[in-house]
Amino acid sequence: MNLRNIKQTITSIIVSIFLSYILITTNDLFTKIIVIPFLLFGISFFIKNLCLIFNKKQLAKLFSKINVIAFLVYLFGFMIIWCFVSIKNRDYLQILFSIPLWLMGIYIIKKRFFNQKVNSDKKTPKFNFKILISVFLVMIVFLSGIVMMFFGIRDTYNLKVKTKNYITTTGYFNNYDVFDADEDGITYKLTYIYTVDGKEYSITTDYGTNYIPDENSSREIKYNPNNPKEAVITGTNSKNGLIYFGAFFTFGALTFVIAALSVLGYFDKFKIDILGTYIGLLFFIIGIGIILFQTGTTTSLLETIKSFGFLIIIPIMFIVIGIIQTVKCLIRKNN
């Protein structure tokens, strides 16, 4: 009986019970959509390990495929929503960036479900086209991330230069309007008012949020002393989004690169699990990044937690899993 399989079985059933509780208790459709693929993955992973414990290898292979299906459901569901929102907002560049992920999903389907056995008598081709395609896709994802980060950093820097001599004041939440509305919910753009020399001005966020702050809650405003109508709300803005998405694409592509180097044995001499450590740190950074990004739209950490609602569990899970994975891989040298 494999001790590793037993540990994985116990972990997966605990996660599955927890996700089942979220699915049953929440009334938010968006939360249910996010939780269901993870729940399917957890249940199938639990049954797969249970089959391995009792030496039922064929059943284990079946539920291993269900794991892949759960991942593909999440991937394609995410991509469909992404493309739908991009078309609705006429942001066709975002659709272009989604192409590598579509191709990756199609490649996974072909490899796991339609992979034909190769005749051993056939000569091995000079070039492995699967590897070439994989490298090409990773390069596209990586370059897409770099481009997005470039424009995001450039626009953020230009905004910082432009507002260098702006004066800081306090703005108070005054009103809100619908930023976007669909079957997944409603997001709002928020309006704050600020006063300069006894005259009142207003400024509206350039992003959407699902959280409406308390009346008269405050945000820091920076305005042009020569023209007080020109102002910005400090914290998160639409330009920061490009940086976050760009980082996601870039570090996601690096994951494949590090995985390939690990398979080729370049990290065999290291006393720690390089790939596992990188993935752990990546999960941790993603969780922290989600919270920091949202914190930039609110006035305090407490408001950030309130704005997430029950969904706060998602970045927290990323952080916890990241810490556990990183620590586990770093202490491998002691084993």
259: tokens are: 């995985």
Max mean pLDDT among 3-17, 43-57, 168-182 falls in 168-182
Q: Cβ distance 272 to 330 under 8 Å?
A: yes
Query: Domain of 94?
Result: 1-115
> Is 98 inside a domain boundary?
yes
Q: Which residue has the tokens 């993870």?
A: 38
> Is 58 inside a domain boundary?
yes
Question: For 197-203, what is the mean pLDDT?
Answer: 91
Which parts of 73-198 are beta strand (E)? Answer: 167-182, 185-196
Radius of gyration of the chain (CA): 24
Q: Cβ distance 201 to 194 under 8 Å?
A: yes
Q: Which residue has the tokens 């391995």?
A: 52
Same domain? 102 vs 191: no
> Is 311 inside a domain boundary?
no
- Which of 49, 83, 115 marks a domain boundary? 115
At 128-179, the pLDDT tens digits run 555 666 677 677 778 878 888 888 888 888 888 888 899 999 999 888 888 7
Positive or negative, the Cα torsion across 141, 145, 148, 154? negative
> Is 47 inside a domain boundary?
yes
> Is 33 inside a domain boundary?
yes
Q: Which residue has the tokens 């694409």?
A: 249
- Which of 96, 115, 134 marks a domain boundary? 115
Same domain? 100 vs 15: yes
Q: How confident is the model at residue 120 (pLDDT cuts 50, 70, 90)?
A: very low
Same domain? 110 vs 14: yes
> Is 141 inside a domain boundary?
no
Same domain? 10 vs 105: yes
Same domain? 94 vs 175: no
Same domain? 2 vs 111: yes
Residue 80's SS3 state is helix
At 230-270, the pLDDT tens digits run 999 887 777 777 788 788 878 878 888 888 888 778 888 88
Residue 178's SS3 state is strand
C-alpha separations of 111 from 57, 71, 116, 117 in Å: 20, 14, 9, 11
pTM flag (> 0.75): no
Positive or negative, the Cα torsion across 261, 265, 271, 273? positive
> Is 324 inside a domain boundary?
no
Same domain? 18 vs 87: yes
State the total domains in the chain: 2
249 vs 33: which has the higher pLDDT: 249
pLDDT over 80 (residue 105): no
Contacts of 299 (CB under 8 A, 6+ apart): 213, 217, 218, 219
The burial of 4, by beta-carbon neighbours within 10 Å (0-12 exposed, 13-18 middle, 19 or more buried), is given as exposed
> Is 202 inside a domain boundary?
yes
- Which of 54, 85, 115 marks a domain boundary? 115
Question: For 305-317, what is the mean pLDDT?
Answer: 80
Query: Of the candidates 221, 229, 96, which has an alpha carbon nearest to the alpha carbon of residue 167?
Result: 221
Same domain? 8 vs 85: yes
Same domain? 89 vs 13: yes
Amino acid letter at 30?
Answer: F
3-state helix, strand, coil in the chain (%, to 5): 65, 15, 20
